[in-house]
Amino acid sequence: MSLLRTNSGPPSAQVLVGGELLPSKYVPVHNPARIDELVGHCALGTPEMVERAVETAKVAAPTWRDLGFHRRAAMLRSALPRLRETLAERANLLTREQGKVLWESVADARGPELVIEYFAGLIDGGYGREERWDESGRVVIRRVPRGVTAIIVPWNYPIYLACQHLIPALITGNTVVVKPSELVPLSLSRTLAVLADALPDGVVNVVPGEGPIVGRALTRSADVRNVLFTGSVPVGQEILRAGADLVRTSSLELGGNDPALLLEDASLDDATMNEMVRGVFTCTGQICFSIKRIYVPRSRANEFLAAFTAAADAIVVGDGLDERSTMGPLNNARQLERVQGLLAEARGAGASVQAVGSRLDPDGWERGHFMLPHVVSDIADDNPLVQTEQFGPVVPIVTYDSLEEGVAMANDTEYGLAASVWTADPDAGLQVGELLETGSIFVNSHRLGSSDMSMPFGGTKRSGIGRTHTAAILDECTEPQALAFKKDLSAFPGPALAEQAR
C-alpha cells in the first residue's frame, strides 16, 4: 500500500506498523511562531502498539537481512527521487512545527538523501565481509545485523538525526521501530513514509507518542536488540539501565556544553565574528553542538565583547518562513522558560546581560515562543548558565588569564561533545585542540558543515557512547561473525603445550 497519499486537512504523524496505519488518539502540534496555529496532529502510541511494531519488525527481519548489503543499498537509493521531490514540502512543514528558519529546515530535510548516498557508497566500497583463504584454511568475517533496532529522536534536528541512525541500521540489515519526538513529529513522519514506501512492509515501523510511554516501552522490550538514541542525558541513562538487564548495546548521542576557546592572536574581523555568531545562534541555539560558552583572554575581553555583540545585533528574530528572519522562535514553552530561568539566575548573580538583535514582528511577539539573543559577560565559570546545557539563544563569555587556565575551564564540564579553537594560526589551533576533551574539535568554525560524514561524530564523558558517521556507525549496527575452516591447527597442539611450562 502506498503511504504517500495526501489527505486533505492538516498532516498527521501516524502509527505505521507493517505498512498499515493504525487508528489511534491524537494530540495537536502547534506552530512555535504562532502557538494558536494548528500545524497537524501527533498520534499517541501505546505500549500495545509498540509490542505490535516490534513483533512486526522481528518477523520482517530475516528476509531483509538475507537480501544482502547491495540489494538493500539499491532499495534505499530508489527512495532518492521521491525524497528530492518532497524536499520543499517537508522543509516547510518542519519550519512550521519546529520554528527554525527555512534554510535550516532544508539542511535538516535533505539529510536522508546525503546519508543514503554516503552509506551506499561505503557498501559499494565493500563494507561487511572480509575473507582470507590460504594454506592454513579459510576464514570469513562478516558483519551481521543486531536485529530489531529502536531509533529514538529529539525535536531539534529530527529528520537528519533520525536518518543518521536509520539509514546505517537499514543498510546493514536491521529492521527498525522509530519513535519521533512528540513535539516535532510531522516532517519526520512524512520522510519515514517516503522511505517505508520504497522498502518491504515491516522493515520501517513508526510509533509516535510520549517518551515515558512509547520510548520506555520500546527500550524495555526484550526483542529490541539495539537502541540508537539521540536526546538528553537522563533518558540516555535510563536506556543504559534497561540495556544492562537485557544485555543489550545502545549508541547514545546525548547533550553538549561546547566551549569556543579564543586565543590571543584570533581575528575579530566581521567574517570571523559572523562565523562565531552562527556557531552560537543557529537553530536558536538548540543544537547539541552549538557553541554554548565562549572563553576569551582577559587582555582582549572588551574588544571581543564589542565585536561579537555587534555581529549578533544583526540577527532578526521572527517566523522562520519569513525570508527576513535570521532566527526563529524556540521550539516549546518549557525550553523558553528554562532558558529565561538560567538568564535570570545569571543576572541575579551579578552578570551583565545584553539583549541584541531585533524583532521582526513586535506585535506578534507574544503569540510565539520568541526570545531575543542574549550575550552575557562578567560571569563566573561556575554559574549554572556556563555549567549546564542552556539549549537556547543565550551565550556566556568568560575570561581567562593564561592558555592553561582557558583549556582547564573549557574541559571542566561533564560534557564532551565538541569544541572549537579560534586563532590566526590554524596549525596552532589544531595543537591546542588536542588538549580539549571532546569528540570533535574545529578550528575557526563550529557549526553544521564543520563535521561531515567522513568524520566520526559523538561525545566523550556524559555526551554519549559510540559514534555516528563513517563506518563506525555501521559497526555499531552490526556484530562481527567469524566463520572458519582451519586446515592447520598446529599452533595449538593441546597437551604438547605443557612442554613450554616444564
Q: How far apart are CA 41 and CA 28, in angstroms?
A: 4
241 versus 487: smaller Cβ distance to ligand NAD: 241
For residue 33, what is the DSSP state? T
Give 311 or 417: the residue with its C-beta nearer to ligand NAD. Answer: 417
Does the footprint of ligand NAD cover residue 42 (CB under 6 A)? no
Tell me the window of 168-176, 210-218, 348-356, 393-401 that interacts with ligand NAD (CB under 6 A). 210-218
Task: Rule CB under 6 A: say whether 104 interacts with ligand NAD.
Answer: no
- Is 332 a binder of ligand NAD (CB under 6 A)? no
The answer to whether 413 and 257 are in contact (CB under 8 A) is yes
Spatial CB neighbours of 149, under 8 Å, sequence gap ≥ 6: 169, 174, 175, 176, 177, 224, 225, 226, 227, 228, 477
**β partners of residue 485:** 138
CB 42 within 8 A of CB 29: yes
272 vs 463 by CB, closer to ligand NAD: 463
Q: Kindly provide the residue ranges of all beta strands, DSSP E only, lying in 318-403, ordered along the sequence.
A: 352-355, 358-359, 374-377, 394-400
Rule CB under 6 A: say whether 40 interacts with ligand NAD: no
State the minimum distance, in angstroms, from the CB of residue 439 to ligand NAD.
9
The 440-459 site mask, x for binding ligand NAD (CB under 6 A), equals: -------------------x
Nearer to ligand NAD, 45 or 406 (CB): 45
Tally: H helices and E strands in the chain: 17, 25
Q: Which is nearer to ligand NAD, 318 or 464 (CB)?
A: 464
Residue 440's alpha-carbon distances to 143, 428, 467, 468, in angstroms, are 27, 16, 11, 12
CB 185 within 8 A of CB 192: no
**Is 253 an active-site residue?**
yes
- Work out whether 476 is an interface residue with ligand NAD (CB under 6 A): no
Scored b (16 or more CB within 10 A) or e, 47-71 reads bebbebbbbbbbebbeebbebebee
Q: How far is CA 296 from CA 273, 303, 306, 403, 435, in A?
A: 13, 10, 13, 10, 17
- Does position 393 interact with ligand NAD (CB under 6 A)? The reply is no
With CB under 6 A as the contact rule, the residue among 205, 221, 230, 250 that binds ligand NAD is 230
What is the closest distance, in whole angstroms, from the C-beta atom of residue 190 to ligand NAD in the complex? 17
Looking at residue 18, what DSSP letter applies?
Answer: T
Q: Nearer to ligand NAD by C-beta: 187 or 272? A: 187
Query: Contact between 253 and ligand NAD (CB under 6 A)?
Result: yes
Residues near ligand NAD (CB under 6 A), total: 30
- Does 305 bind ligand NAD (CB under 6 A)? Our answer is no
Q: Which of 105, 181, 387, 450 binds ligand NAD (CB under 6 A)?
A: 181
Residue 237: CB minimum distance to ligand NAD, A: 10
When the beta carbons of 148 and 296 are compared against ligand NAD, the nearer one is 148
Q: How far is the CB of 213 from ligand NAD (least distance, A)?
A: 9
Range 138-167, binding ligand NAD (CB under 6 A):
152-157, 161
24: left (phi over 0), alpha (psi -120 to 50) or beta: beta
Closest separation in Å from C-beta 253 to ligand NAD: 3
- Does 343 bind ligand NAD (CB under 6 A)? Our answer is no
Closest listed residue to residue 419, CA positions, set 387, 442, 392: 442
* Interface with ligand NAD (CB under 6 A), residue from 19, 173, 215, 392: 215
The one catalytic residue in 97, 104, 182, 253 is: 253
User: Of 219 and 399, which has the nearer Cβ to ligand NAD?
Assistant: 219
* Min CB(71)–ligand NAD separation in Å: 30
DSSP state of 211: I
Task: Answer yes or no whether residue 255 interacts with ligand NAD by CB under 6 A.
Answer: yes
CB 426 within 8 A of CB 443: yes
CB of 282 to ligand NAD, least distance (A): 13
390: its cell numbers: 542552556
> Percent helix, strand, coil in the chain (nearest 5)?
40, 25, 35
* 279 forms part of the interface with ligand NAD (CB under 6 A): no
* Site for ligand NAD contains 391 (CB under 6 A): yes
Q: Which residue is associated with the grid cell 561531515?
A: 452
d(CA 328, CA 156): 12
Residues near 285 by Cβ (< 8 Å), separated by ≥ 6?
A: 292, 339, 390, 391, 392, 393, 394, 395
Catalytic machinery residues = 253
* Chain residues in the site for ligand NAD (CB under 6 A): 152-157, 161, 179, 181-182, 211-212, 215-216, 219, 230-232, 235, 238, 253-256, 288, 389, 391, 417, 459, 464
